Chains A and B, each alone.
Chain A
Amino acid sequence: MSNSIRKVSSFGTLHVAEARIRNMAKWAFIILFAAVINPTLYLVSIGIGVGSLIDANNGVEGVSYLTFLAPALLASAAIQGSSDEVIFPTMAGFKWERTFFGMRSTPLTARQISLGIFLAAMVRTIVSVVIYWIVLYLFGALESDTAWLAMPAALFAGAAMAAVMLALAAKIEKEDFFFTIVGRFIMIPMFLFSGTFYPLSQMPVFLQFFGWISPLWHATELGRYLTYDYPLPGIQIFIHIAVLATMMLVGLFLSARVFDNRLEK
Protein backbone atom coordinates (compact mmCIF):
# COMPACT_ATOMS: atom_id res chain seq x y z
CA MET A 1 0.00 0.00 0.00
CA SER A 2 1.21 3.46 -0.85
CA ASN A 3 2.37 5.39 2.13
CA SER A 4 4.06 7.98 -0.03
CA ILE A 5 2.42 11.21 0.96
CA ARG A 6 1.90 13.71 -1.82
CA LYS A 7 3.81 16.95 -1.92
CA VAL A 8 1.73 20.06 -1.38
CA SER A 9 2.11 23.08 -3.64
CA SER A 10 3.42 26.11 -1.80
CA PHE A 11 1.71 28.43 -4.28
CA GLY A 12 -1.76 28.00 -2.80
CA THR A 13 -2.24 31.75 -2.44
CA LEU A 14 -1.60 32.23 -6.15
CA HIS A 15 -4.05 29.47 -7.06
CA VAL A 16 -6.80 31.11 -5.03
CA ALA A 17 -6.03 34.48 -6.63
CA GLU A 18 -6.06 32.83 -10.06
CA ALA A 19 -9.56 31.50 -9.47
CA ARG A 20 -10.77 34.89 -8.29
CA ILE A 21 -9.28 36.64 -11.29
CA ARG A 22 -10.99 34.14 -13.58
CA ASN A 23 -14.22 35.08 -11.85
CA MET A 24 -13.56 38.81 -12.21
CA ALA A 25 -12.77 38.34 -15.88
CA LYS A 26 -16.47 37.59 -16.36
CA TRP A 27 -17.13 41.16 -15.27
CA ALA A 28 -14.10 42.66 -17.00
CA PHE A 29 -16.15 44.98 -19.17
CA ILE A 30 -18.08 46.45 -16.25
CA ILE A 31 -14.95 46.78 -14.14
CA LEU A 32 -13.06 48.59 -16.92
CA PHE A 33 -16.04 50.73 -17.86
CA ALA A 34 -16.50 51.86 -14.25
CA ALA A 35 -12.76 52.51 -13.98
CA VAL A 36 -12.97 55.03 -16.82
CA ILE A 37 -16.40 56.54 -16.17
CA ASN A 38 -16.02 57.15 -12.43
CA PRO A 39 -13.02 59.50 -12.60
CA THR A 40 -14.40 61.25 -15.65
CA LEU A 41 -17.64 62.08 -13.86
CA TYR A 42 -15.86 63.29 -10.73
CA LEU A 43 -13.35 65.37 -12.62
CA VAL A 44 -15.94 67.04 -14.80
CA SER A 45 -18.44 67.80 -12.03
CA ILE A 46 -16.27 68.61 -9.04
CA GLY A 47 -12.83 69.10 -10.51
CA ILE A 48 -13.90 71.44 -13.28
CA GLY A 49 -17.32 72.57 -12.05
CA VAL A 50 -16.55 73.30 -8.40
CA GLY A 51 -12.93 73.90 -9.36
CA SER A 52 -13.77 76.93 -11.54
CA LEU A 53 -15.27 78.67 -8.49
CA ILE A 54 -12.31 77.84 -6.28
CA ASP A 55 -9.68 78.65 -8.86
CA ALA A 56 -11.31 82.06 -9.30
CA ASN A 57 -10.30 82.50 -5.62
CA ASN A 58 -6.66 81.56 -6.28
CA GLY A 59 -7.13 77.78 -5.94
CA VAL A 60 -6.07 75.70 -2.93
CA GLU A 61 -2.58 75.72 -1.47
CA GLY A 62 -1.32 77.49 -4.55
CA VAL A 63 -2.45 74.88 -7.10
CA SER A 64 -5.61 74.44 -9.15
CA TYR A 65 -8.47 72.63 -7.43
CA LEU A 66 -8.21 69.83 -9.96
CA THR A 67 -4.59 69.22 -9.01
CA PHE A 68 -5.45 69.37 -5.32
CA LEU A 69 -8.31 66.92 -5.72
CA ALA A 70 -6.65 64.42 -8.07
CA PRO A 71 -4.54 62.37 -5.60
CA ALA A 72 -7.46 62.14 -3.15
CA LEU A 73 -9.80 60.83 -5.85
CA LEU A 74 -7.18 58.35 -6.99
CA ALA A 75 -6.69 56.95 -3.48
CA SER A 76 -10.43 56.94 -2.89
CA ALA A 77 -11.02 54.89 -6.04
CA ALA A 78 -8.34 52.43 -4.95
CA ILE A 79 -9.98 52.04 -1.53
CA GLN A 80 -13.48 51.61 -2.93
CA GLY A 81 -12.40 49.08 -5.57
CA SER A 82 -10.24 47.00 -3.28
CA SER A 83 -12.90 46.94 -0.53
CA ASP A 84 -15.62 45.74 -2.90
CA GLU A 85 -13.31 43.11 -4.23
CA VAL A 86 -12.68 41.59 -0.80
CA ILE A 87 -16.12 42.09 0.79
CA PHE A 88 -18.30 40.44 -1.84
CA PRO A 89 -16.11 37.39 -2.52
CA THR A 90 -15.72 36.86 1.22
CA MET A 91 -19.48 36.96 1.86
CA ALA A 92 -19.96 34.59 -1.09
CA GLY A 93 -17.14 32.33 0.04
CA PHE A 94 -18.42 31.84 3.57
CA LYS A 95 -22.13 32.22 3.13
CA TRP A 96 -23.80 32.69 -0.24
CA GLU A 97 -21.97 29.96 -2.17
CA ARG A 98 -19.71 28.49 0.51
CA THR A 99 -16.86 28.19 -1.97
CA PHE A 100 -14.26 28.66 0.77
CA PHE A 101 -15.37 25.39 2.34
CA GLY A 102 -14.70 23.69 -0.99
CA MET A 103 -11.25 25.27 -1.13
CA ARG A 104 -10.55 24.21 2.42
CA SER A 105 -11.12 20.54 1.58
CA THR A 106 -8.17 20.74 -0.82
CA PRO A 107 -4.57 21.14 0.41
CA LEU A 108 -5.14 24.92 0.70
CA THR A 109 -4.84 26.45 4.15
CA ALA A 110 -7.12 29.14 5.57
CA ARG A 111 -4.26 31.62 5.39
CA GLN A 112 -3.66 30.92 1.72
CA ILE A 113 -7.35 31.40 0.98
CA SER A 114 -7.50 34.76 2.76
CA LEU A 115 -4.27 35.98 1.15
CA GLY A 116 -5.43 34.79 -2.27
CA ILE A 117 -8.62 36.84 -2.04
CA PHE A 118 -6.55 39.85 -0.96
CA LEU A 119 -4.04 39.39 -3.77
CA ALA A 120 -6.74 39.15 -6.44
CA ALA A 121 -8.35 42.32 -5.09
CA MET A 122 -4.98 44.05 -5.45
CA VAL A 123 -4.69 42.96 -9.06
CA ARG A 124 -8.03 44.55 -9.83
CA THR A 125 -7.05 47.65 -7.87
CA ILE A 126 -3.85 48.04 -9.91
CA VAL A 127 -5.93 48.02 -13.10
CA SER A 128 -8.39 50.58 -11.72
CA VAL A 129 -5.65 52.85 -10.37
CA VAL A 130 -3.68 52.84 -13.62
CA ILE A 131 -6.79 53.72 -15.64
CA TYR A 132 -7.77 56.40 -13.14
CA TRP A 133 -4.29 57.87 -13.25
CA ILE A 134 -4.36 58.03 -17.06
CA VAL A 135 -7.66 59.91 -16.95
CA LEU A 136 -6.21 62.33 -14.38
CA TYR A 137 -3.21 62.84 -16.62
CA LEU A 138 -5.42 63.53 -19.63
CA PHE A 139 -7.33 66.12 -17.62
CA GLY A 140 -4.04 67.81 -16.84
CA ALA A 141 -4.44 67.23 -13.11
CA LEU A 142 -0.90 65.94 -12.53
CA GLU A 143 1.91 68.46 -12.34
CA SER A 144 5.19 66.97 -11.09
CA ASP A 145 7.60 64.41 -12.54
CA THR A 146 6.99 62.11 -9.60
CA ALA A 147 3.25 62.07 -10.23
CA TRP A 148 3.36 58.43 -11.34
CA LEU A 149 4.32 57.54 -7.76
CA ALA A 150 0.80 58.57 -6.75
CA MET A 151 -0.24 55.18 -8.16
CA PRO A 152 1.66 53.04 -5.64
CA ALA A 153 0.58 55.45 -2.88
CA ALA A 154 -3.08 54.96 -3.82
CA LEU A 155 -2.58 51.22 -4.18
CA PHE A 156 -1.06 51.15 -0.72
CA ALA A 157 -4.19 52.79 0.70
CA GLY A 158 -6.30 50.22 -1.15
CA ALA A 159 -4.22 47.41 0.35
CA ALA A 160 -4.52 48.79 3.89
CA MET A 161 -8.30 49.17 3.62
CA ALA A 162 -8.82 45.83 1.86
CA ALA A 163 -6.88 43.97 4.54
CA VAL A 164 -9.05 45.45 7.29
CA MET A 165 -12.26 44.86 5.32
CA LEU A 166 -11.22 41.28 4.63
CA ALA A 167 -10.99 40.55 8.34
CA LEU A 168 -14.27 42.35 9.00
CA ALA A 169 -16.22 40.65 6.19
CA ALA A 170 -14.95 37.26 7.31
CA LYS A 171 -16.16 37.97 10.82
CA ILE A 172 -19.70 38.84 9.70
CA GLU A 173 -22.06 35.88 9.87
CA LYS A 174 -25.29 37.81 9.30
CA GLU A 175 -24.89 40.38 6.59
CA ASP A 176 -28.22 42.16 7.27
CA PHE A 177 -26.80 45.52 8.25
CA PHE A 178 -23.22 44.97 7.23
CA PHE A 179 -23.38 46.64 3.83
CA THR A 180 -25.36 49.59 5.14
CA ILE A 181 -22.87 50.07 7.95
CA VAL A 182 -19.85 49.81 5.68
CA GLY A 183 -21.37 52.16 3.11
CA ARG A 184 -22.90 54.80 5.34
CA PHE A 185 -20.70 54.75 8.39
CA ILE A 186 -17.31 53.85 6.96
CA MET A 187 -16.97 54.64 3.26
CA ILE A 188 -18.92 57.89 2.95
CA PRO A 189 -17.63 59.55 6.16
CA MET A 190 -14.12 58.52 5.19
CA PHE A 191 -14.58 60.09 1.77
CA LEU A 192 -15.92 63.32 3.30
CA PHE A 193 -13.61 63.71 6.29
CA SER A 194 -10.19 62.74 4.94
CA GLY A 195 -9.17 66.09 3.55
CA THR A 196 -10.44 64.98 0.19
CA PHE A 197 -12.15 68.19 -0.90
CA TYR A 198 -10.27 70.70 1.29
CA PRO A 199 -7.21 70.49 3.55
CA LEU A 200 -7.84 68.54 6.74
CA SER A 201 -6.47 71.52 8.69
CA GLN A 202 -9.62 73.46 7.78
CA MET A 203 -11.57 71.18 10.09
CA PRO A 204 -12.00 71.63 13.85
CA VAL A 205 -9.39 69.49 15.58
CA PHE A 206 -11.89 66.95 16.94
CA LEU A 207 -13.02 66.23 13.37
CA GLN A 208 -9.45 65.94 12.16
CA PHE A 209 -9.32 62.75 14.17
CA PHE A 210 -11.30 60.99 11.42
CA GLY A 211 -8.54 61.88 9.01
CA TRP A 212 -5.84 60.45 11.23
CA ILE A 213 -7.44 57.03 11.33
CA SER A 214 -8.40 57.11 7.67
CA PRO A 215 -6.16 55.33 5.15
CA LEU A 216 -7.56 57.73 2.58
CA TRP A 217 -6.08 60.77 4.34
CA HIS A 218 -2.66 59.16 4.74
CA ALA A 219 -2.58 58.16 1.08
CA THR A 220 -3.90 61.55 -0.03
CA GLU A 221 -1.12 63.33 1.85
CA LEU A 222 1.46 61.13 0.19
CA GLY A 223 -0.27 61.59 -3.18
CA ARG A 224 -0.26 65.38 -2.88
CA TYR A 225 3.41 65.35 -1.97
CA LEU A 226 4.10 63.29 -5.08
CA THR A 227 1.89 65.13 -7.58
CA TYR A 228 2.71 68.80 -6.84
CA ASP A 229 4.84 70.95 -4.55
CA TYR A 230 2.94 69.99 -1.44
CA PRO A 231 5.33 70.36 1.47
CA LEU A 232 5.54 67.26 3.62
CA PRO A 233 8.32 66.77 6.21
CA GLY A 234 10.19 63.47 6.16
CA ILE A 235 8.82 62.38 9.53
CA GLN A 236 5.26 62.80 8.27
CA ILE A 237 6.01 60.79 5.16
CA PHE A 238 7.30 58.06 7.42
CA ILE A 239 4.21 58.20 9.64
CA HIS A 240 1.82 57.98 6.68
CA ILE A 241 3.64 54.94 5.32
CA ALA A 242 3.87 53.36 8.77
CA VAL A 243 0.15 53.77 9.44
CA LEU A 244 -0.83 52.23 6.10
CA ALA A 245 1.65 49.39 6.51
CA THR A 246 0.39 48.67 10.03
CA MET A 247 -3.23 48.60 8.90
CA MET A 248 -2.37 46.21 6.09
CA LEU A 249 -0.30 43.83 8.19
CA VAL A 250 -2.70 43.77 11.14
CA GLY A 251 -5.63 43.31 8.75
CA LEU A 252 -3.98 40.39 6.99
CA PHE A 253 -2.95 38.78 10.25
CA LEU A 254 -6.48 39.02 11.65
CA SER A 255 -7.99 37.83 8.37
CA ALA A 256 -5.95 34.64 8.44
CA ARG A 257 -7.10 33.97 12.00
CA VAL A 258 -10.76 34.67 11.33
CA PHE A 259 -10.68 32.54 8.17
CA ASP A 260 -9.08 29.71 10.11
CA ASN A 261 -11.67 29.81 12.89
CA ARG A 262 -14.58 29.96 10.52
CA LEU A 263 -13.36 27.22 8.19
CA GLU A 264 -12.52 24.85 11.01
CA LYS A 265 -16.18 24.03 11.71
Chain B
Amino acid sequence: MSEPLIHARGLTKTYGDFVAVDGIDFDVAKGESFGFLGPNGAGKSSTMRIIGATSVRTSGTLTILGKDPEVNGPQIRAHLGVVPQQDNLDVELTVSENIFIYGRYFGLSSSFINKKIPELLEFAQLEEKKDVKVQALSGGMKRRLTIARSLVSEPDILMLDEPTTGLDPQARHILWDRLFRLKEQGVTLLITTHYMDEAEQLCDRLIVMDKGKIMAENSPAQLIKDYSTKEVLEVRFGSDRNQEMVEVLRPLAERIEVLPDRILLYAEDGEQLLESIAAKGIHPNTSLVRRSSLEDVFLRLTGRTLVE
Protein backbone atom coordinates (compact mmCIF):
# COMPACT_ATOMS: atom_id res chain seq x y z
CA MET B 1 0.00 0.00 0.00
CA SER B 2 1.24 3.51 -0.77
CA GLU B 3 2.02 5.94 1.98
CA PRO B 4 -1.21 7.14 3.64
CA LEU B 5 -2.41 10.66 2.96
CA ILE B 6 -3.08 11.19 6.65
CA HIS B 7 -1.22 9.30 9.34
CA ALA B 8 -2.04 9.77 13.03
CA ARG B 9 -0.58 7.99 16.06
CA GLY B 10 -1.47 8.76 19.66
CA LEU B 11 -3.11 12.00 18.56
CA THR B 12 -4.15 13.94 21.65
CA LYS B 13 -5.72 17.32 22.29
CA THR B 14 -6.44 18.71 25.72
CA TYR B 15 -8.03 21.99 26.75
CA GLY B 16 -6.91 22.52 30.32
CA ASP B 17 -8.06 19.41 32.21
CA PHE B 18 -10.47 18.36 29.48
CA VAL B 19 -9.21 15.67 27.11
CA ALA B 20 -10.99 16.30 23.81
CA VAL B 21 -9.01 13.78 21.75
CA ASP B 22 -7.48 10.92 23.68
CA GLY B 23 -4.57 9.28 21.90
CA ILE B 24 -6.21 8.10 18.68
CA ASP B 25 -4.55 6.22 15.78
CA PHE B 26 -5.78 6.17 12.20
CA ASP B 27 -4.64 6.29 8.59
CA VAL B 28 -6.49 7.63 5.61
CA ALA B 29 -5.55 6.50 2.09
CA LYS B 30 -5.77 8.58 -1.05
CA GLY B 31 -9.23 8.56 -2.61
CA GLU B 32 -10.83 7.14 0.47
CA SER B 33 -13.97 8.51 2.02
CA PHE B 34 -13.28 8.43 5.73
CA GLY B 35 -15.76 9.20 8.48
CA PHE B 36 -15.73 10.16 12.14
CA LEU B 37 -19.00 9.05 13.70
CA GLY B 38 -19.94 9.98 17.23
CA PRO B 39 -22.21 12.13 19.37
CA ASN B 40 -21.64 15.84 19.96
CA GLY B 41 -18.55 16.32 22.10
CA ALA B 42 -16.92 13.04 21.03
CA GLY B 43 -13.81 14.86 19.79
CA LYS B 44 -14.58 14.72 16.07
CA SER B 45 -14.39 18.44 15.41
CA SER B 46 -11.23 18.81 17.49
CA THR B 47 -9.65 16.04 15.42
CA MET B 48 -10.74 17.78 12.22
CA ARG B 49 -9.26 21.10 13.31
CA ILE B 50 -5.94 19.45 14.06
CA ILE B 51 -5.91 17.77 10.64
CA GLY B 52 -6.96 21.09 9.13
CA ALA B 53 -3.77 22.64 10.55
CA THR B 54 -5.69 25.31 12.43
CA SER B 55 -5.38 23.76 15.88
CA VAL B 56 -2.13 22.48 17.38
CA ARG B 57 -2.15 18.97 18.83
CA THR B 58 -1.10 18.50 22.43
CA SER B 59 0.83 15.29 21.72
CA GLY B 60 1.17 12.40 19.32
CA THR B 61 2.39 12.31 15.73
CA LEU B 62 0.51 13.46 12.68
CA THR B 63 1.51 13.76 9.06
CA ILE B 64 -0.62 15.01 6.19
CA LEU B 65 0.81 14.50 2.71
CA GLY B 66 3.96 13.46 4.55
CA LYS B 67 4.27 16.81 6.37
CA ASP B 68 3.71 17.88 9.95
CA PRO B 69 0.89 20.45 10.21
CA GLU B 70 2.62 22.13 13.12
CA VAL B 71 5.63 22.90 10.94
CA ASN B 72 4.07 23.27 7.50
CA GLY B 73 0.60 24.62 8.33
CA PRO B 74 0.09 26.98 5.37
CA GLN B 75 1.58 24.47 2.89
CA ILE B 76 -0.74 21.73 4.12
CA ARG B 77 -3.77 24.02 4.15
CA ALA B 78 -3.03 24.77 0.50
CA HIS B 79 -4.06 21.16 -0.23
CA LEU B 80 -7.20 21.11 1.89
CA GLY B 81 -10.77 22.13 1.23
CA VAL B 82 -12.54 22.86 4.50
CA VAL B 83 -16.28 22.92 5.08
CA PRO B 84 -16.77 24.01 8.69
CA GLN B 85 -19.69 23.12 10.90
CA GLN B 86 -20.81 26.75 10.98
CA ASP B 87 -20.87 28.62 7.67
CA ASN B 88 -18.45 31.52 7.57
CA LEU B 89 -19.24 33.06 4.21
CA ASP B 90 -18.97 36.80 3.64
CA VAL B 91 -22.68 37.65 3.68
CA GLU B 92 -22.18 41.13 2.22
CA LEU B 93 -20.66 39.72 -0.94
CA THR B 94 -22.38 37.83 -3.75
CA VAL B 95 -22.17 34.09 -4.36
CA SER B 96 -19.56 34.51 -7.11
CA GLU B 97 -17.55 37.02 -5.11
CA ASN B 98 -17.35 34.62 -2.19
CA ILE B 99 -15.81 31.96 -4.40
CA PHE B 100 -13.52 34.56 -5.95
CA ILE B 101 -12.08 35.97 -2.74
CA TYR B 102 -11.65 32.49 -1.30
CA GLY B 103 -9.63 31.48 -4.35
CA ARG B 104 -7.51 34.59 -3.88
CA TYR B 105 -6.72 33.51 -0.31
CA PHE B 106 -5.01 30.51 -1.90
CA GLY B 107 -3.04 32.89 -4.09
CA LEU B 108 -4.81 31.72 -7.26
CA SER B 109 -4.87 34.06 -10.24
CA SER B 110 -8.05 35.94 -11.14
CA SER B 111 -8.16 34.28 -14.56
CA PHE B 112 -7.92 30.80 -13.04
CA ILE B 113 -10.68 31.52 -10.53
CA ASN B 114 -12.95 33.16 -13.08
CA LYS B 115 -12.69 30.06 -15.27
CA LYS B 116 -13.46 27.91 -12.27
CA ILE B 117 -16.50 29.82 -11.00
CA PRO B 118 -19.11 28.67 -13.59
CA GLU B 119 -18.12 25.06 -13.03
CA LEU B 120 -18.46 25.41 -9.25
CA LEU B 121 -21.76 27.26 -9.53
CA GLU B 122 -23.10 24.45 -11.66
CA PHE B 123 -21.87 21.87 -9.17
CA ALA B 124 -23.58 23.72 -6.32
CA GLN B 125 -26.70 24.39 -8.43
CA LEU B 126 -26.35 28.07 -7.75
CA GLU B 127 -25.99 29.43 -11.31
CA GLU B 128 -29.09 31.56 -10.98
CA LYS B 129 -27.92 32.95 -7.65
CA LYS B 130 -24.44 33.94 -8.74
CA ASP B 131 -25.01 37.69 -8.34
CA VAL B 132 -27.17 37.40 -5.23
CA LYS B 133 -25.78 38.48 -1.87
CA VAL B 134 -25.15 35.51 0.41
CA GLN B 135 -27.39 36.88 3.15
CA ALA B 136 -30.39 36.18 0.89
CA LEU B 137 -29.60 32.45 0.49
CA SER B 138 -31.33 29.56 2.26
CA GLY B 139 -29.41 27.34 4.68
CA GLY B 140 -29.03 24.58 2.10
CA MET B 141 -27.75 26.99 -0.53
CA LYS B 142 -25.21 28.46 1.89
CA ARG B 143 -23.99 24.95 2.66
CA ARG B 144 -23.61 24.14 -1.04
CA LEU B 145 -21.79 27.43 -1.59
CA THR B 146 -19.44 26.65 1.28
CA ILE B 147 -18.64 23.33 -0.38
CA ALA B 148 -18.25 24.93 -3.83
CA ARG B 149 -15.97 27.54 -2.31
CA SER B 150 -13.80 24.89 -0.69
CA LEU B 151 -13.28 23.25 -4.10
CA VAL B 152 -11.94 26.37 -5.82
CA SER B 153 -8.36 25.36 -5.05
CA GLU B 154 -8.88 21.78 -6.32
CA PRO B 155 -8.03 20.28 -2.93
CA ASP B 156 -6.57 16.81 -2.46
CA ILE B 157 -8.56 16.35 0.74
CA LEU B 158 -12.03 17.74 1.35
CA MET B 159 -12.93 18.01 5.03
CA LEU B 160 -16.58 18.29 5.99
CA ASP B 161 -17.57 18.91 9.60
CA GLU B 162 -21.22 17.92 10.15
CA PRO B 163 -22.09 18.86 6.57
CA THR B 164 -25.86 18.42 6.78
CA THR B 165 -26.67 19.46 10.33
CA GLY B 166 -29.61 21.85 10.30
CA LEU B 167 -30.70 21.06 6.74
CA ASP B 168 -34.11 19.76 5.71
CA PRO B 169 -34.28 16.24 4.22
CA GLN B 170 -34.41 17.42 0.62
CA ALA B 171 -31.42 19.71 1.03
CA ARG B 172 -29.51 16.84 2.68
CA HIS B 173 -30.13 14.54 -0.25
CA ILE B 174 -28.98 17.13 -2.77
CA LEU B 175 -25.82 17.60 -0.73
CA TRP B 176 -25.16 13.88 -0.46
CA ASP B 177 -25.53 13.56 -4.20
CA ARG B 178 -22.92 16.31 -4.72
CA LEU B 179 -20.52 14.69 -2.27
CA PHE B 180 -20.99 11.35 -3.94
CA ARG B 181 -19.90 12.87 -7.25
CA LEU B 182 -16.75 14.22 -5.65
CA LYS B 183 -16.03 10.80 -4.23
CA GLU B 184 -16.41 9.31 -7.71
CA GLN B 185 -13.91 11.87 -9.00
CA GLY B 186 -11.38 10.49 -6.51
CA VAL B 187 -11.37 13.35 -4.00
CA THR B 188 -10.41 12.12 -0.56
CA LEU B 189 -13.25 12.97 1.80
CA LEU B 190 -13.05 13.39 5.55
CA ILE B 191 -16.47 13.63 7.14
CA THR B 192 -17.62 14.03 10.71
CA THR B 193 -21.23 13.33 11.46
CA HIS B 194 -23.56 12.26 14.20
CA TYR B 195 -26.05 11.00 11.62
CA MET B 196 -25.67 7.28 11.03
CA ASP B 197 -27.47 7.44 7.67
CA GLU B 198 -24.99 10.04 6.49
CA ALA B 199 -22.05 7.91 7.56
CA GLU B 200 -23.54 4.86 5.83
CA GLN B 201 -24.21 6.79 2.63
CA LEU B 202 -20.89 8.53 2.29
CA CYS B 203 -18.13 6.67 4.10
CA ASP B 204 -16.01 3.78 2.82
CA ARG B 205 -14.55 3.43 6.25
CA LEU B 206 -15.16 5.09 9.54
CA ILE B 207 -14.13 5.33 13.14
CA VAL B 208 -16.73 5.42 15.86
CA MET B 209 -15.66 7.96 18.46
CA ASP B 210 -16.87 8.56 21.98
CA LYS B 211 -15.31 10.72 24.68
CA GLY B 212 -12.20 11.36 22.60
CA LYS B 213 -11.45 7.67 22.00
CA ILE B 214 -11.93 5.33 19.05
CA MET B 215 -14.47 2.64 19.89
CA ALA B 216 -14.29 0.79 16.56
CA GLU B 217 -12.98 1.18 13.03
CA ASN B 218 -14.16 -0.45 9.80
CA SER B 219 -16.49 -0.12 6.83
CA PRO B 220 -20.10 0.66 7.78
CA ALA B 221 -21.25 -2.79 6.60
CA GLN B 222 -18.52 -4.61 8.48
CA LEU B 223 -19.14 -2.64 11.67
CA ILE B 224 -22.79 -3.62 11.53
CA LYS B 225 -21.84 -7.23 10.92
CA ASP B 226 -19.34 -7.23 13.78
CA TYR B 227 -21.35 -5.39 16.37
CA SER B 228 -24.98 -6.08 15.56
CA THR B 229 -27.36 -8.67 14.18
CA LYS B 230 -28.80 -8.48 10.69
CA GLU B 231 -32.18 -7.19 11.83
CA VAL B 232 -33.75 -5.32 14.70
CA LEU B 233 -37.27 -5.61 16.04
CA GLU B 234 -38.47 -2.43 17.74
CA VAL B 235 -41.41 -2.90 20.08
CA ARG B 236 -43.33 -0.47 22.28
CA PHE B 237 -45.58 -1.38 25.17
CA GLY B 238 -46.11 2.12 26.48
CA SER B 239 -43.64 3.68 28.89
CA ASP B 240 -45.14 2.00 31.99
CA ARG B 241 -44.93 -1.55 30.73
CA ASN B 242 -41.64 -1.44 28.76
CA GLN B 243 -39.56 -2.26 31.81
CA GLU B 244 -41.66 -5.25 32.98
CA MET B 245 -41.62 -6.77 29.48
CA VAL B 246 -37.82 -6.75 29.27
CA GLU B 247 -37.32 -9.85 31.41
CA VAL B 248 -39.99 -11.73 29.47
CA LEU B 249 -38.45 -10.83 26.12
CA ARG B 250 -34.78 -11.22 27.03
CA PRO B 251 -34.51 -14.99 26.41
CA LEU B 252 -36.12 -14.65 22.98
CA ALA B 253 -33.66 -12.24 21.35
CA GLU B 254 -29.92 -12.45 20.78
CA ARG B 255 -29.50 -9.10 22.52
CA ILE B 256 -31.82 -6.54 23.98
CA GLU B 257 -31.54 -2.76 24.47
CA VAL B 258 -34.04 -0.69 26.42
CA LEU B 259 -34.57 2.89 25.37
CA PRO B 260 -36.84 5.32 27.19
CA ASP B 261 -39.66 4.90 24.66
CA ARG B 262 -39.04 1.47 23.12
CA ILE B 263 -37.29 -1.89 23.36
CA LEU B 264 -34.85 -3.04 20.67
CA LEU B 265 -34.63 -6.79 20.08
CA TYR B 266 -31.69 -7.99 17.99
CA ALA B 267 -32.15 -11.03 15.75
CA GLU B 268 -31.13 -12.43 12.37
CA ASP B 269 -34.80 -12.55 11.35
CA GLY B 270 -36.99 -9.88 12.86
CA GLU B 271 -40.31 -11.10 11.47
CA GLN B 272 -39.71 -14.57 12.85
CA LEU B 273 -38.93 -13.11 16.26
CA LEU B 274 -42.13 -11.08 16.16
CA GLU B 275 -44.10 -14.24 15.39
CA SER B 276 -42.52 -16.13 18.25
CA ILE B 277 -43.35 -13.27 20.62
CA ALA B 278 -46.96 -13.28 19.41
CA ALA B 279 -47.05 -17.06 19.88
CA LYS B 280 -46.32 -16.47 23.57
CA GLY B 281 -49.34 -14.21 23.75
CA ILE B 282 -47.28 -11.01 23.94
CA HIS B 283 -48.73 -8.20 21.84
CA PRO B 284 -46.78 -4.91 21.72
CA ASN B 285 -48.65 -1.67 21.00
CA THR B 286 -46.48 -1.11 17.95
CA SER B 287 -43.74 -3.12 16.28
CA LEU B 288 -41.26 -2.44 13.53
CA VAL B 289 -38.69 -4.66 11.84
CA ARG B 290 -35.67 -2.94 10.27
CA ARG B 291 -32.11 -3.70 9.27
CA SER B 292 -29.39 -2.99 11.79
CA SER B 293 -27.70 0.39 11.36
CA LEU B 294 -24.68 2.20 12.72
CA GLU B 295 -26.96 3.58 15.42
CA ASP B 296 -27.18 0.02 16.77
CA VAL B 297 -23.41 -0.34 16.55
CA PHE B 298 -22.99 2.82 18.56
CA LEU B 299 -25.55 1.69 21.11
CA ARG B 300 -23.74 -1.60 21.49
CA LEU B 301 -20.35 0.09 21.86
CA THR B 302 -21.30 2.86 24.25
CA GLY B 303 -24.69 1.98 25.71
CA ARG B 304 -25.96 5.32 24.45
CA THR B 305 -27.75 6.61 21.38
CA LEU B 306 -26.07 8.99 18.93
CA VAL B 307 -28.75 11.66 18.80
CA GLU B 308 -30.35 12.34 22.13
Contact = CB atoms under 8 A, between A and B. Distances in A.
A30 interface: no
B220 interface: no
A97 B90 contact: yes
Given A1-B30, A107-B75, A263 B54 contact: yes
Given A2-B156, A11-B107, A16-B105, A109 B74 contact: yes
A199 B156 CA distance: 63
A198 B79 CA distance: 58
Interface size class of B (residues with CB under 8 A): 35 or more
A257 interface: no
B67 to A, nearest CB: 6
A11 B105 CA distance: 9
Nearest to B66: A3
Contacts, number: 97
Say whether chain A's binding surface is mostly helix, strand, loop, or mixed. Answer: loop
B105 A12 contact: yes
A107 B101 contact: no
B21 to A, nearest CB: 14
A12 B107 contact: yes
Nearest to B86: A98
Contacts of A109: 73-74
Contacts of B73: 109
Say whether chain B's binding surface is mostly helix, strand, loop, or mixed. Answer: loop
| Listed residue (A18, A99, A102) with the most chain B CB atoms within 10 angstroms of its CB | A102
A1 B2 contact: yes
Interface string A66-99: 0000000000000000000000000000000111
Given A3-B65, A9-B107, A97-B91, A108 B86 contact: no
B88 A5 contact: no
A6 B90 contact: no
Nearest to A265: B55
B90 A106 contact: no
18 contacts: A2-B156, A3-B65, A5-B65, A6-B75, A9-B106, A9-B107, A15-B104, A16-B105, A18-B101, A23-B92, A26-B93, A101-B54, A103-B105, A105-B54, A106-B78, A107-B77, A109-B74, A265-B55
